[in-house]
Structure 1
Amino acid sequence: MRCETTPLLHLDDGFDLRPAVAEDATRIADWMAQPHIRKWWQQDWSVERWAQVLDEQAAGEHSTPCMVALDTEDLGYVELYRVRHDRLAEYYASDEHDWGVHVAIGDTVRTGQGLGRRLLRSVADALLRADPRCDRVVAEPDAANVASVRAFAAAGFVTQGELRLPEKTALLMVRPRTVEA
């Protein structure tokens, strides 16, 4: 493990996940400028700002920025975070070991093909496998982001209620640990 927030993950379904580094800032900045991401993430930042943010995340304990690839081709950005280190912990009855996830599929050629739900399922499964103390993975997509909410639901996340965050009305979506045979 790189730091407390970075579990050693093995993703299924052909996905690869690696830590994002400052050299990825150009690609991430391009993705965040795409209309389907910009509207929801509101992080249409310069390459320089993204490089700085990635360095800060790598040095801290709050979240781990990641690049996700399918068949060795980068297609999106993922942030993994311990909810206890995030403001989200103030909005629901979080557990000390809850993991949170943010996902953006940046490659517009690959959107609308069900990759989001496959990726979300794979990331949640990997987090739950890697951390036996974790009983749930959570997300807080904007309630108006129908595509994202559908992808989370199709990946096994269950809506637990509405959260009024300062910048959005979100749905608390939870992927519980499944019983393994």
Structure 2
Amino acid sequence: MPPTDASTDAGTAPFSIADSDTGPGADSEDTLDLRLPDDFLAFFAEEAEAAPAARGAAERGEENGTAQGMARPALATPTGDDLLDRVGDWGPTATSVGVFQLVPVRIDRDLPLISRWMNDPAVAAFWELSGPETATEDHLRAQLGGDGRSAPCLGVLDGTPMSYWEIYRADLDPLARHYPARLHDTGIHLLIGGVANRGRGLGTTLLRAVSDLVLDRRASSARVIAEPDLRNTPSVSAFLSAGFRFSAEVDLPDKRAALMVRDRALRDLL
């Protein structure tokens, strides 16, 4: 499980959102077992049939605690055949620091930039993906060639790729063995590029924006989950400032983590 980290190197390569591609990498070899059990697939089918009623309740503010008269953006329709409700279709969102968008990674375009970020010493200490580009490529292909439970994305701010994100199904991740997971829990891993982007609240702003996107676009998800390394104090602080609450300390195979949770019901209070 990669860490959730809010520090790394800058990326200023030219980028066009029109060039994004959500398809899996061709001829990829999975490094993880990303096949869903049959009983999970059957359960998701039942959930999809019940989704319209749940969406209606959410849009009326019955799930998210929205104050009367304060409308939230319309919630997207769960597709049933996409475990993360098509992250690539979530679109841009306005923030106090500019227009931000999650753009699904395309290996032929994005690998050099992401690999360079992973080789920043401050990042390598937590992500452990430093070395040749093949290390990062294998990590990306394991997700792109899987069943869709994890979506690697570039974070593009005002047209410039400046961060790397993984939006994933926490309830289907090995993380679920270490905390009381709920169906459709959505997890976030984050790596922000650029020394100039560190220490000025950018991570907090984008974490709040992305977790809002999750709650707005995934009607079935009541919580956003993160598990930054406890040693990564700036990352833990950024999550707290972004409306997440500290839930517990958890011992994971590769780290001792702070389990951070942002609840739909508390999103307007924290």
TM-score (norm 2): 0.63
Q: Does 1:4 align with 2:90?
A: no
Q: Does 1:27 align with 2:113?
A: yes
Unaligned runs of 5+ in 2: 1-21, 24-81
Deviation at 1:17, TM superposition (A): 1.1
TM-score (norm 1): 0.92
Q: Taking CA–CA contacts closer than 8 Å with sequence separation of 6 or more, which of the two structures ends up with the larger relative contact order?
A: 2
Q: Does 1:130 align with 2:217?
A: yes
Q: Does 1:36 align with 2:122?
A: yes
CA RMSD of aligned residues (A): 1.9
Segments of 4+ moved more than 3 angstroms: 178-181
Number of aligned residue pairs: give it: 181
2:139 is matched with which residue? 53
Residue 117 of structure 1 aligns with an amino acid whose one-letter code is T
Tell me the SS of whatever aligns to 2:251. strand
Please give the alpha-carbon distance, in whole angstroms, between the structure 2 residues aligned to 1:112 and 1:29: 23
Q: Could you say which structure has the higher strand fraction?
A: 1
* Overall identity of the aligned pairs, in %: 36
- Largest Rg, 1 or 2: 2
Q: 1:135 to 1:74 in 2, by over 3 A?
A: same
Unaligned runs of 5+ in 1: none
Please give the alpha-carbon distance, in whole angstroms, between the structure 2 residues aligned to 1:160 and 1:12: 29
1:67 is matched with which residue? 154
**1:108-127 deviation line (CA, Å, top 9, x unaligned):** 22111211011110110000
Please give the alpha-carbon distance, in whole angstroms, between the structure 2 residues aligned to 1:113 and 1:180: 22
Contact 1:161 1:171 in 2 (8 A): yes
Residue 191 of structure 2 aligns with an amino acid whose one-letter code is A
Please give the alpha-carbon distance, in whole angstroms, between the structure 1 residues aligned to 2:195 and 2:243: 24
Tell me the SS of whatever aligns to 1:12. strand
Contact 2:249 2:257 in 1 (8 A): yes
Tell me the SS of whatever aligns to 2:204. helix
Residue 188 of structure 2 aligns with an amino acid whose one-letter code is V
1:106 is matched with which residue? 193
